[in-house]
Amino acid sequence: MNDELFTPTIKAPQAPSSPPWRPDSIVYPAFFGGPLAAMVLGLINGRRLALSRAHLMLIAGAGVAGFVARLVVTAALDASSGTRIIGSIAGVFTWLVIAALQRRPFRAFLYNAGTPASLVAPGFAAAIGLGVLEAVLIFVVVL
């Protein structure tokens, strides 16, 4: 029987090439590594969750905006102020955008019996590597 009534309207989701990380776990590298670490991990995870290009651009925009805000505030404050906490705050705000955009696709991934990947090694690498990169860029721009 070729009746349209019996054809499925919801297509089977495309299986991701690599399992995604939990979006809520990105907060730790975001806090310790800053907005660039959060942005890179959010973009990689967004690709794994097959987010649209617009959502990926929002994540990239939030990361760049967080980094620029960190640069501006760090340049406005004197060197004796606690500028490290500013990077943590900017990273957490970037993570809020990531979490808002990735929670629903991640729940769909879990619903289809998916097992998330571990973020330990990539999280440490992003927090340390991109945290150092942010520090160098801030040092070059501010001083």
DSSP per-residue codes, 68-111: HHHHHHHHHS-TTS--HHHHHHHHHHHHHHHHHHHHHHHHHHHH
Predicted pLDDT of residue 114: 82
Predicted pLDDT of residue 9: 66
Predicted pLDDT of residue 79: 62
Q: Is position 10 within any domain?
A: no
Taking the CA atoms of residue 7, residue 9, residue 11 and residue 12 in that order, the dihedral angle to the nearest 10 degrees is -80
The residues, any chain, with a CB within 8 Å of residue 78's CB and separated by 6 or more, are none
Structurally, how many domains does the chain consist of? 1
Predicted pLDDT of residue 15: 58
Print the domain residue range for 64: 21-142
CA distances from 139 to 20, 71, 73, 135 (A): 34, 10, 13, 6
Q: For the packed helices 35-48 and 84-111, what is the interaxial angle rounded to 10 degrees? A: 10
Q: Is position 121 within any domain?
A: yes
Residue 110 burial (CB count, 10 A): 13
- Tokens 């809020």 label which residue? 96
Q: Is position 3 within any domain?
A: no
Q: Are 29 and 119 in contact (CB under 8 A)?
A: yes
Q: Is position 11 within any domain?
A: no
Percent of the chain with pLDDT over 90: 68
Predicted pLDDT of residue 141: 86
Predicted pLDDT of residue 17: 75
pTM of the model: 0.85
Q: Is position 6 within any domain?
A: no
Q: Are 45 and 26 in contact (CB under 8 A)?
A: yes
Residues 73-101 have a mean pLDDT of: 88
Q: Is position 8 within any domain?
A: no
Higher pLDDT, 142 or 137: 137
Predicted pLDDT of residue 81: 67
